[in-house]
Structure 1
Amino acid sequence: MNQSAPRKIQTELSEEELAQRVAILKRFRELLVEQRNRFQQYLEVLDKQRDTIERGDTEALLSHVELEEKIVGEIFAIQKVIDPLEVMYRSCYPDREEEIPPLKEALEHLKQEAIQRSEQNRELLSRRMEELRQEIKALRANPFAKRKSLFGDSDSASLIDIRG
């Protein structure tokens, strides 16, 4: 009787430990999937942002930038939770990593693609801003834009009473 009690406690601990490990694995996997979804959203926003830059729609560009900032903030928040969970996962499953590496690999691929598209958008926006600067310079150099109206200084009436 004395010997069976320690075995039962040891079995319960291992069952509890097993349940904890399974919970860690599930949560880690959920967060990686959520992070992957956020990166996919981010890529969609970057695509729409590129189209908006090409069209020159500043209002839409502003909303895309705000949405981009929100998604990037969410990505960083999720990453803050993923990092410690990954450490716990590796300590629980030092030899067994079948499911997680493909997810992490997909995440890394999405991250690199997001970096590349973001850089392309930044370059496109820089070129567009330079085009606008050149247009403004051309307008300022236009001699007709600086001239006042011939009627600007006249003392003639500007309103006419038509009622009589």
Structure 2
Amino acid sequence: MEQITKEELEQRIALLKKFRELLEKQRAKFREYLSVLEKQETSITTENPETLLAHTELEQQVVANIMSLQKVIVPMSELYKERGAHLEEESVNTIQKDLEDLQHKVLIQNQKNRELLKTHIVQIRQQIATLKNPYKTARSVYAEKSTVGVGHLVAVEA
């Protein structure tokens, strides 16, 4: 069995704490994202475009935060494995499992929202197509051709 120094043990513990902290931040962001998607679904079904736009903007911010966290978590995970920091590995595994579950729920909710949006867009297009244009057969006074005779023109000299 390999002996590690106190300093190395402290480094591993610090690494584990930082790694766990990053995973917990990512889990919170995924929960926030799922909440935004659920609220977005309500905005879609109630056909509230202002709220839908606000949720879409918030969604983009949350996704950007998740992506930036991922950029840190991936190398931190590799460092964690490389260093053999297996202390409290069970808690890290639990957080990672929770992250996978949340990610799966987010993907399902995202797909559900996309389908709802597609359905609403089709319905709106159908409604627009069935609208009658009351001016369709009316002729515009601006569209009528009128001829101006040569005799009606008056030359103005300076």
TM-score in terms of structure 2 length: 0.80
Candidates 8, 12, 21, aligned match of 2:12: 21
The amino acid across from 1:45 in the alignment is V
Which of the numbers 18, 33, 39 marks the counterpart of 1:42?
Answer: 33
Tell whether 2:121 aligns with 1:129: yes
Partner amino acid, structure 1, of 2:136? K
Gap runs ≥5 in structure 1: 1-10, 154-164
Report how many residues are paired: 138
Structure 2: distance between partners of 1:120 and 1:30: 31
Q: 2:65 aligns with which of 55, 74, 78?
A: 74
In 1, Cα distance between the equivalents of 2:62 and 2:137? Answer: 49
Map 1:1-164 to 2 at 5 A.
14-93=5-84, 96=87, 97-139=89-131, 142=132, 144=134, 146=136
- In structure 2, distance between residues paired with 1:45 and 1:15: 45
Structure 2 CA distance for aligned equivalents of residues 33 and 104 of structure 1: 9
Counterpart-to-counterpart distance in 1, 2:63 and 2:86: 33
Q: Deviations over 1:2-35 (max 9, x none)?
A: xxxxxxxxx9x92222221111100000011100
CA distance in 1, matches of 2:110, 2:120: 15
Post-superposition shift, 1:143?
A: 5.2
Instruction: Work out the CA distance in 2 between the residues paired with 1:105 and 1:66.
Output: 28
**After superposition, what is the alpha-carbon deviation per residue over 1:29-52, rounded to whole angstroms, capped at 9, x for unaligned?**
001110000000001000100000
Tell me, in whole angstroms, the C-alpha distance in 1 between the residues paired with 2:79 and 2:43: 43
Between the aligned partners of 2:11 and 2:133, the Cα distance in structure 1 is 77
SS of residue in 2 equivalent to 1:98: helix
Give the SS at the match of 2:90: coil
Tell me which amino acid in the other structure corresponds to 2:58.
L
TM-score by length of 1: 0.77
- Structure 2: gaps spanning 5 or more residues: 142-158
Structure 1 match to 2:152? none
Q: CA deviation at 1:101?
A: 0.7
CA–CA distance in structure 2, aligned partners of residues 51 and 147 of structure 1: 41
Please give the root-mean-square deviation of Cα atoms over the aligned residues, in Å: 2.1
Q: Is the 8 A contact 2:37 2:113 kept in 1?
A: yes
Q: CA deviation at 1:99?
A: 1.6
